[in-house]
Structure 1
């Protein structure tokens, strides 16, 4: 917060999922439903009325803020997140580039789920939320698959810890490999391995200022 304030950057922290939707089974698991909306728009009829976190983040929240009359410049947006939120940050950013909208100037992530279509967290979410299952998820919400489709420059920073117990769910190496194959160099896509750090708050708090300054480079350009 201190670094963002010093840079004149406003921070918004959206929730992980809708609240109080009353869908059978939404509160059963910590990695699905009310615990993990995965920042997608659900197409499975059971979830599609309420579980539209992609639209919530990209459309609804900016509209609410704009109507509130806050002194914000909506032509200058970036996005970042942690773990599932890191997955969301990467996919929302890449989707905006692929659509031609370019809503965000940069994206960064701590310990993101980079290849959800290949790991338990992601396959569970895609199989539950999407009518087309994992195949639909890979096409629309998998950062490793998406980065290979992006033409032109990208601005991405990823940090992950070598002592992260969930590293097998994250696949940052696969994301980096796909980025390099697609021609995105170390200036456009930076993936940093932080020795000894895990998945926790202390990891984020240690490198949060780096991410604020990374985004400031593009937001203030």
Structure 2
């Protein structure tokens, strides 16, 4: 299966070398020569990974990464840079990067990291969106159709777990672990909390977003009806 990647790098020769090698590994690259172009491509296309240099014209890598996370983009981001100090790495992680590779690097390692990242979503997004629902992970606020919703602490945990995995199904035991870890109650409290959450997230609005998948679990998804 081909991996779709965005490469944001202002060194044309290096970008060409990377793209040529990655193609042999089944990784197709779109290319942007500056941060502004990279941000636009990332916001308007779907990629499985983003390779992001730090020292970029127009917008640097930190600014691009921060902007993407602020807009809810959860594509894994791998920063490629000559900066190798701990402070530089921490700056990258603070704005939402998932991995860090210092130049010069081995192409085999780059390809391996891309393939590993491509199998998951990033947990670094600052906001999560589905239809008219917005979940702000920094302020821990929830809005739907512009209306603020005050969910319970347990409802918040469940909602974030469902949103992070949307449109995939989340098993009941996964949600129970997220809320209670090893201390899952004997009674079906999950059912009670799911009912309350649906009353807040779905009932006042036209289209439900939380759905039960019998014998499997729950899913947050916008259905076309």
**TM superposition score normalised by structure 2:** 0.33
The structure with the largest strand share of the pair is 2
Greater Cα radius of gyration, structure 1 or 2: 2
Higher RCO structure (Cα 8 Å, ≥6 apart): 1
Higher helix share: 1
Instruction: Give TM-score scaled by structure 1 length.
Output: 0.34
